[in-house]
């Protein structure tokens, strides 16, 4: 739901909800999260694109390239931050879009719950990939081995 607009407040159409006038609820948090994560993502995402498509051609971003990069914990931290902020910024955006277009309350609750499940699942999957990566260790095989395969 969009933040309430106070009576007499000048409304301009610019592509976002009006700045919340206070409150500690989820929608106020969401509004601030969009802006704070957005400012960080301007740098995180554009630098990521530059590194993977400009300074190195995408065809050269192979296993060894990632292994060298992940020898430095800075880049693991960088990717964890990019993953976390981009995923929650994006799925929160999807939630806002669903709130706008799905008028049935039941469907809205069902779909927003689904978005929540997607958020947690993809976050765990991405975190696992970044944290467990180790040069020369086949993580997938190790996990299957532990499960007895």
- The residue ranges that bind other proteins (CB under 8 A) are 10, 12-16, 19, 35, 38-39, 41-42, 45-46, 49-50, 53-64, 66, 83, 86-87, 90-91, 93-94, 97, 118, 122, 125-126, 128-129, 132-133, 138-141
| Separation of alpha carbons 149 and 84, rounded Å | 32
Give yes or no for a contact between 119 and 88, defined as CB atoms under 8 angstroms apart: yes
Q: Tell me the closest approach of the beta carbon of residue 7 to other proteins, in angstroms.
A: 18
Q: Tell me the closest approach of the beta carbon of residue 77 to other proteins, in angstroms.
A: 16
What's the 3-state SS for 87-145? HHHHHHHHHHHHHHHCCCHHHHHHHHHHHHHHHHHHHHHHHHHHHHCCCCCCHHHHHHH
Q: Tell me the closest approach of the beta carbon of residue 26 to other proteins, in angstroms.
A: 19
- Burial degree of 31 (CB within 10 A; 0-12, 13-18, 19+): buried
Neighbouring residues of 103: CB distance < 8 A, sequence distance ≥ 6 = none
- For residues 7 and 106, which CB has a smaller minimum distance to other proteins in the complex? 7
- For residues 28 and 61, which CB has a smaller minimum distance to other proteins in the complex? 61
- For residues 1 and 125, which CB has a smaller minimum distance to other proteins in the complex? 125
- For residues 6 and 106, which CB has a smaller minimum distance to other proteins in the complex? 6
Q: Tell me the closest approach of the beta carbon of residue 12 to other proteins, in angstroms.
A: 4
The single-letter DSSP state of residue 2 is P
């Amino acid at each position: 739901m969009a933040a309430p607009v106070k009576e007499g407040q000048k409304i301009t159409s610019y592509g976002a909800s009006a700045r919340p006038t206070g409150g500690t609820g989820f929608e106020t948090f969401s509004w601030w999260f969009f802006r704070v994560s957005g400012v960080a993502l301007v740098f995180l995402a554009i630098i990521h694109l530059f590194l993977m498509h400009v300074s190195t051609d995408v065809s050269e971003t192979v296993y060894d390239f990632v292994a060298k990069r992940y020898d430095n914990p800075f880049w693991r931290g960088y990717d964890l931050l990019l993953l976390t902020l981009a995923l929650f910024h994006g799925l929160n955006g999807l939630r806002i879009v669903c709130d706008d277009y799905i008028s049935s309350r039941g469907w809205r609750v069902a779909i927003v719950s689904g978005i929540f499940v997607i958020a947690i699942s993809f976050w765990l999957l991405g975190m696992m990939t970044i944290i467990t990566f180790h040069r020369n260790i086949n993580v997938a095989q190790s996990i299957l081995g532990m499960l007895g395969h």
